[in-house]
Amino acid sequence: DFDLAIYIKGDRKAVAVYNAELQITYEGNEVPTTDFDAALNSLVVPASAQVGFPVTVGAMVTNLGPATATGSVDFTGWYGSPRNPSSIQWSANFTDLATNVPTLVETTCDIPPTRSSPMEWEAVLDAPGDTNPGNDEIPRGTYSTVLYQ
């Protein structure tokens, strides 16, 4: 509900309005939209890495549109024994991602000192306003890196 005040030019007496309908017509260019569908396509991780040294990891992100997309990709690296796994996390941001242009979003991270073991990667795309969160995750174990001393 909202209050409505009407002024009728030239009329000096009170006007009572019992029912009103407001119709708005937008004139000009197409109404801009902020809807977009950012999709996490694949990860780019090294096949092997030396523990204690930095590596670059990335994700291929495609904005399926129609508006530009802004957000981040959160990477998690899982390592250690299956009974006692450890994890490390990094994040990489992207802004104003154009429509239908696959883009590499990457970050550099340090592999922690640990015993040699595989590192399994997981990635989650975080983009407020994304209309389809169903294509925003690459599950753990799909990509891996062999860690060595």
- What is the secondary structure of 45-91 as a DSSP string? --SEEETTSEEEEEEEEEE-SSS-EEEEEEEEEEEEETTEEEEEEEE
Q: Is the pLDDT of residue 143 over 80?
A: yes
Percent residues over pLDDT 90 in the chain = 58
Mean pLDDT, residues 40-56 = 93
- Mean predicted confidence (pLDDT) in 50-61: 93
pTM above 0.85, yes or no: no
How would residue 57 be classed by pLDDT, with cut points 50, 70 and 90?
very high
Instruction: Judge whether 87 and 77 are in contact, CB under 8 Å.
Output: yes
Residue 32: pLDDT over 70: no
The amino acid sitting at 135 is N
